Amino acid sequence: MDTSYVRHRLYLHRTKILLGALFALVLSTDLHAQGYAYTRKHLEHYDDKIIHYGFFFAAPVTRFNIKYSNAFVTADSASRIYSPNKTSFRVGFVTNAYLTDAFDIRTTPSISLYSREVKYDYPGGTSRSETRESAWLDIPLLIKYKSQRRNNTRMYLLAGGSFAIETNVRKKEAFGSTRLSTNTTDFTVEYGIGFEQFFEYFKFSPEIRFSHGIPNMFRPTNNTASLGIRKLTTHGVTIYINFE
């Protein structure tokens, strides 16, 4: 009888210990969760302002997409014509206007320093290249779709178009020049994704954007650089670092 009573008391004591430990674990988890709930929200009323301004630095990786003409097979001596990826530089300003809780309209006018290249490979291992180094003024117009803000972070998508014009246009090249000739205006379709991080005094937004040129940039001339080419369109992938 005494042995049974002692065992019963020990069982009750062990149960109280287990219940106490479980309660302490739940309380600790709840306090930990409450600590996250009180994360400081920077620029809390950021979206109450209609227009925001900023600036950015960007690194485009760009090339020409090349389509061959019939002369590439019948008359051209080159065995391959292609455009390698070339890293460039871009700097500009951001103007972002609020439309709704989910959508903004955005423009990022910029100056871009491009260095696009076309390479020609010939039988026997020889090759040559045509490099088009130029400065361009880019004026995009984009629609931005933003997710719901979570504390100090938010994702967004954007899409639209961009008009570009070459600012350092060369004088008309002499007849018979061997250089590749290209047009001085371009229009591209652009789309991308970005991530917004709010800090105490500014918003930091890394972004990646893709662009595809629509018009044919190739300007036909009667020289060896143009032989075998029917169409040149631009293509680029750009990493942006935005500050607003």
- pLDDT digits 0-9 by tens, 62-97: 999 999 888 887 776 788 899 999 999 999 999 999
Q: How far is CA 92 from CA 136, 173, 194, 238, 241, in A?
A: 12, 31, 17, 13, 11
Confidence bin at 244 (pLDDT 50/70/90): very high
Instruction: Centre a 10 Å sphere on the Cβ of residue 158 and count the other Cβ atoms it contains.
Output: 21
Q: What is the mean pLDDT of the chain?
A: 84
Alpha-carbon Rg of the chain, whole angstroms?
30
Closest to 58 measured CA to CA, from 88, 86, 17 = 88
Model confidence pLDDT, tens digit, residues 181-220: 889 999 999 999 999 999 999 999 999 999 999 999 998 8
pLDDT at 193: 97
pLDDT at 24: 53
Q: Would you state the structure tokens that stand for residue 128, as one six-digit string?
A: 């040559």
pLDDT at 72: 80
- What is the average per-residue pLDDT within 87-110? 96
Closest to 152 measured CA to CA, from 203, 101, 103 = 203
Looking at the predicted structure, is the pLDDT value of residue 3 above 50? no
pLDDT at 20: 55
Q: Is the CB of residue 86 less than 8 Å from the CB of residue 234?
A: no
pLDDT at 176: 44
Confidence bin at 233 (pLDDT 50/70/90): very high
pLDDT at 6: 44
Of 39-48, 143-152, 233-242, the range with the lowest mean pLDDT is 39-48
pLDDT at 171: 52
Share of the chain above pLDDT 70, in %: 80
Of 8-17, 57-66, 101-110, 153-162, the range with the lowest mean pLDDT is 8-17
Looking at the predicted structure, is the pLDDT value of residue 159 above 80? yes
- What is the average per-residue pLDDT within 28-39? 53
Torsion over CA: 205, 239, 59, 64 (sign):
negative
Name the residue ranges covered by the structural domains of the chain: 1-38, 46-243
Q: Which residues make Cβ contacts (< 8 Å) with residue 108, sequence separation at least 6?
A: 56, 92, 93, 94, 95, 138, 140, 142, 240
**Stretch (H or E) spanning 30:** helix 2-37
| Integer Cα distance of 175 and 81 in angstroms | 23
Range 46-243: architecture per CATH? Beta Barrel (2.40)
pLDDT at 236: 97
Tell me the residue type at 54.
Answer: G
Q: Give the residue, 135 or 74, on which the prediction is more confident.
A: 135
Looking at the predicted structure, is the pLDDT value of residue 10 above 50? no
